[in-house]
Each structure stands twice: as structure tokens, then as C-alpha cells.
Amino acid sequence: MKRVLHHALLLMLTLSATTAFSQNPTGKPNQFSSFPRLVNCSETEFERALSAPKGQTVSLAFSDSFVFTGEVISNVVKYGVLQTILVKSPAYNNSLFSISRIINADRSVKYVGRIVNKKYADGFELKQDVTGRYQLEKVETDKVMPDCSHQ
């Protein structure tokens, strides 16, 4: 009988651990669940954002259904080859859009960026596809940006 009880307890422990780990550990809601996984972007929109001074409101039309409007809270140029802008959007619960333009040694330009909000479990990361086009790809922000507040 002890052996059956031991196996039953082990089985219950395994099932409860599996259930606990399969759920969203942060309990954070998703903010962008109604948007597609990939959103095509225009470099023209990036350049418009990068030309906006701190304090200006910008509207970035990533698609017909996804316009990110917010205030430029930072626009910094470093070393003449790196520029980063940060836009905070009240329309998306103060989510932040960060985009950087990097000018390489061969004078080619690359963009990197993210849309994140620490209160939500999802966001977007800017990626370049094999044809050179830029897309915002939906990501789980806890995997992209670990929470350092517990350290």
C-alpha cells in the first residue's frame, strides 16, 4: 500500500508542476494579441521618427491598422554613426518604441528596435528579412528582455 501511495503522490506532484510551468509565469496580459505576428515597415517611417526632436509628437504608420503615436522622450546621436530615439505612446499604455540607426563603415544603414512595455507579456522586435525589408515581429518580451527587478 505504501508503494501505491508513494506513486500516487509522485504522480500528483508531477502533474501540478507541469501545470504550473505551462502557464504564463508572469501573469502579464498580452497587449498586441489583435495584431498580426509580422508587420511590414517602411524605412521612411523610421527616418521621420529619427528626425523628430525631443518633445515632439510623432505618428508612425507601420500598417493601416497599426499606427504608433507618441511623444519623443529621447533623441540621441553618438559618435556620428549611431542615433537612437525613444517614443512613449499613451495610446498603447505608455509602451516604448526604441529605434536605432547604425551607419556601418561601408556607409550602409541598419535599423534595430523594439516596442515594449514591462506591464505586458508581448511586444515587437524590429527585424530585417532576407530581402532586406524591415518587419516588426511579435515577441514574448520576457524572453527578449529578462526582468532584472528581482536581482
pLDDT in tens, 118-151: 999 999 999 999 999 999 999 987 665 555 444 4
**Mean pLDDT confidence for 75-90:** 96
Are the C-beta atoms of 30 and 120 separated by less than 8 Å?
Answer: yes
Are the C-beta atoms of 26 and 121 separated by less than 8 Å?
Answer: yes
User: What is the per-residue pLDDT across 23-81, written as a single tens digit (0 to 9) for each?
Assistant: 555 588 999 989 999 999 999 999 999 999 999 999 999 887 899 999 999 999 999 99
Mean of the per-residue pLDDT values for the chain?
83
- State yes or no: pLDDT of 84 exceeds 70: yes
Q: Kindly report the number of other CB atoms within 10 A of residue 65's CB atom.
A: 10
Give residue 133's identity as a one-letter amino acid code: R
- State yes or no: pLDDT of 5 exceeds 50: no
pLDDT for residue 3: 56
pLDDT for residue 17: 46
Higher pLDDT, 84 or 1: 84
Find, among 45, 29, 27, the residue nearest to 136 by Cα: 45
- Secondary structure letter of residue 49 according to DSSP: H
